[in-house]
Structure 1
Amino acid sequence: MVFDDGRRALMFYDRADADTASQVVELDDDEGDWVAELLHSRSLADRLAVVERRLAELTGKCS
């Protein structure tokens, strides 16, 4: 989970109570990126490349 303030956490739920997290593990930025890559999310490098391309489009510096 990514909170509104940018904190990241893994949340584990008990089968007996699927509405309440039984454990919460806070992650720092590097850990969050590592877990995202493990879950087959786009890597930080891919996300940065998208941001750089979009910025180039917005500033008219596309190649």
Structure 2
Amino acid sequence: MVFDDGRRALMIYDGGDADAPSHVVDLDGDEADGVAELLHSRSLADRLSAVERRLAQLIGRRTA
């Protein structure tokens, strides 16, 4: 979870109450990136490369 103020947290639910986490683990930016990388099928570097390619395409269209 990324909060409006930039804080990040991993919320763990135990099934007792679907609206309230049983545990909340506060994460710094690097920890949050690490967890996200573990949960995604592609690495952070691969996702960043894809974003960079898409940005280059968008910039190319604007200048063309």
Q: TM-score, normalised by structure 2?
A: 0.68
Instruction: Count residues in correspondence.
Output: 61
Gaps of 5+ in 1: none
2: CA distance between counterparts of 1:28 and 1:49? 23
Of the structure 1 ranges 23-32 and 12-21, higher mean CA displacement relative to structure 2 is found in 12-21
Task: Provide the residue aligned with 2:57 in structure 1.
Answer: 57
2: CA distance between counterparts of 1:42 and 1:28? 21
Equivalence map 1:1-63=2 (5 Å) = 1-60=1-60
Which structure features the higher share of strand residues? 1
1: CA distance between counterparts of 2:2 and 2:37? 15
2: CA distance between counterparts of 1:15 and 1:51? 36
The SS at the match of 1:2 is: coil
Structure 1: which 4+ aligned runs deviate by more than 3 Å?
Answer: none
Q: TM-score, normalised by structure 1?
A: 0.68
The SS at the match of 1:20 is: coil
Which structure features the higher share of helix residues? 2
CA deviations over 1:18-62 (Å, ceiling 9, x no partner): 32112211111111111122223432211211121112111218x
